[in-house]
């Protein structure tokens, strides 16, 4: 597996490395179950007989999934990425395991890094973490979100907030249920700020998602959608998702002309995940990455990691991809990189 972000970071001089680490950044596109530190997942495996009773996943499947993650996953196509999650989900299927995983993800992004002697700044100063509420014999969707929120709320409100993900494979009723719970929690003063649409990019019919997005809007929840992540996403799918008026877009790799014009007109911000796109092979190299188009057109962007567990990246590494000299990076100046970091803070859902 190629560590694009780590290679870009390693190529920088020590001044630039220190500059990137100290730069105040926001992480706005990080999936909880895709960002669990490997050491935490290994702990959850050890605790499995106690923590995941009731799961139907076999030990073998978990061991195989974990071994792949330990080795570094090489993906031939983006759909292979989604096959990794059953093994991860089997380890985060109780409120206790979820809380443990959430605490580890929050610490990874929001706590100073390294040993006490030589501490580095935290990866970001603000995190919008997203997750898809699951239900099983051990917990309801609301209990799932409560477990995640309990951990998030140990941090102050200016540090982190939750985006509730819906998955393209959900039917309208399930999606509505997820958004209703998110609205109820928000109404009760819990730290929920938005709704996301994620999952295998080509599954489902976008029209079926619209009632849930409308409910989100009526409930004061902002919307972000994974959109045009692959060439297989049709123009109709893209235009239907844009008709829901999302404030931000995830990936937006293959927007056709009409969609790009609408995005520019409405100034929708784009969550850019460079390593994710390179490793899922939806983009050939940084030169061909759509970030170049949006930079040229001055659209608000947020640089994000997506799934640090799978892609083995971190936020500083993603910024290194902006700054490193080509071909390892885009060769952007410090001023440009600072501006991008500021933009990520400006397009937070909760200001
Ligand atoms: C689309 C993605 C994704 O929600 O269980 N997910 N969906 N595109 C991506 N880009 C590569 N990366 C992650 O986190 C895991 C779930 O997030 C979605 C997938 O649906 C995955 O199952 P949560 O915390």
Fold designation for 4-346? TIM Barrel (3.20.20)
Give me the half-sphere count of Cα atoms (radius 13 Å) on the Cβ side of residue 68. 18
pTM for this prediction: 0.96
Given a contact cutoff of 8 angstroms between Cβ atoms, the answer to whether 89 and 134 are in contact is yes
CA separation for the pair 33, 198 (Å, rounded): 13
Q: What number is the ipTM of this complex?
A: 0.99
Among 229, 261, 265, 296, the active-site one is 229
Domain ranges in the chain?
A: 4-346
Is beta strand 126-131 parallel, antiparallel or unpaired with respect to 301-303? unpaired
Which numbered atom of ligand 1 lies nearest the CA of 132? 4
CB-ligand 1 contact for 138 (6 Å cutoff)? no
CA separation for the pair 9, 305 (Å, rounded): 14
Give the pair of three-digit tokens for residue 50.
Answer: 């106690």
Sign of the CA dihedral with 336 first, then 339, 340, and 341 last: positive
Closest CA to 255 of 270, 245, 276, 244: 270
Per-residue pLDDT of the chain (351 residues; tens, 9 = 90+): 899 999 999 999 999 999 999 999 999 999 999 999 999 999 999 887 644 555 555 678 888 888 889 989 899 888 889 888 999 999 999 999 999 999 999 999 999 987 766 789 999 999 999 999 999 998 999 999 999 999 999 999 999 999 999 999 999 999 999 999 999 999 999 999 999 999 999 999 999 999 999 999 999 999 999 999 999 999 999 999 999 999 999 999 999 999 999 999 999 999 999 999 999 999 999 999 999 999 999 999 999 999 999 999 999 999 999 999 999 999 999 999 999 999 999 999 986
SS3 98: helix
How many CB atoms are closer than 10 A to CB 196? 26
CA separation for the pair 321, 233 (Å, rounded): 27
Give the pair of three-digit tokens for residue 190.
Answer: 């819990």
Which numbered atom of ligand 1 lies nearest the CA of 168? 20
CA separation for the pair 351, 272 (Å, rounded): 20
């Amino acid at each position: 597996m190629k560590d694009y972000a780590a290679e870009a970071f390693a190529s920088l001089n020590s001044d630039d490395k220190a500059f990137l680490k100290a730069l105040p950044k926001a992480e706005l596109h990080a999936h909880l179950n895709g960002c669990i530190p490997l050491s935490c997942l290994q702990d959850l495996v050890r605790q499995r007989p106690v923590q995941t009773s009731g799961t139907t996943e076999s030990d073998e499947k978990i061991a195989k999934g974990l071994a792949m993650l330990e080795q570094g996953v090489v993906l031939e196509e983006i759909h292979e990425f989604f096959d990794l999650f059953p093994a991860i989900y089997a380890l985060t299927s109780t409120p206790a395991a979820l809380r443990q995983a959430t605490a580890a993800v929050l610490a990874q992004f929001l706590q100073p890094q390294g040993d006490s002697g030589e501490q580095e700044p935290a990866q970001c100063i603000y995190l919008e973490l997203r997750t898809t509420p699951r239900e099983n014999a051990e917990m309801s969707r609301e209990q799932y979100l409560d477990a995640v929120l309990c951990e998030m709320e140990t941090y102050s409100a200016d540090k982190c907030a939750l985006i509730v993900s819906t998955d393209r494979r959900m039917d309208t009723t399930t999606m509505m249920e997820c958004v209703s719970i998110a609205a109820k929690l928000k109404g009760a003063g819990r730290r929920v700020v938005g709704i996301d649409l994620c999952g295998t990019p080509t599954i489902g019919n976008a029209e079926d998602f619209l009632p849930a997005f409308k409910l989100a809007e009526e409930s004061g929840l902002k919307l972000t959608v994974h959109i045009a992540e692959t060439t297989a996403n049709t123009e109709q799918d893209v235009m239907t998702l844009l008709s829901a008026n999302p404030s931000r877009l995830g990936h937006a790799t293959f927007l056709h002309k009409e969609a790009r014009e609408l995005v520019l007109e409405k100034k929708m911000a784009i969550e850019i995940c460079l390593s994710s796109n390179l490793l899922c092979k939806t983009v050939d190299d940084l030169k061909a990455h759509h970030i170049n188009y949006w930079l040229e057109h001055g659209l608000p962007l947020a640089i994000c990691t997506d799934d640090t567990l799978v892609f083995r990246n971190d936020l500083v590494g993603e910024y290194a991809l902006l700054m490193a000299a080509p071909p390892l990076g885009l060769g952007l100046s410090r001023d440009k990189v600072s501006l991008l970091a500021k933009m990520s803070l400006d397009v937070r859902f909760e200001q």
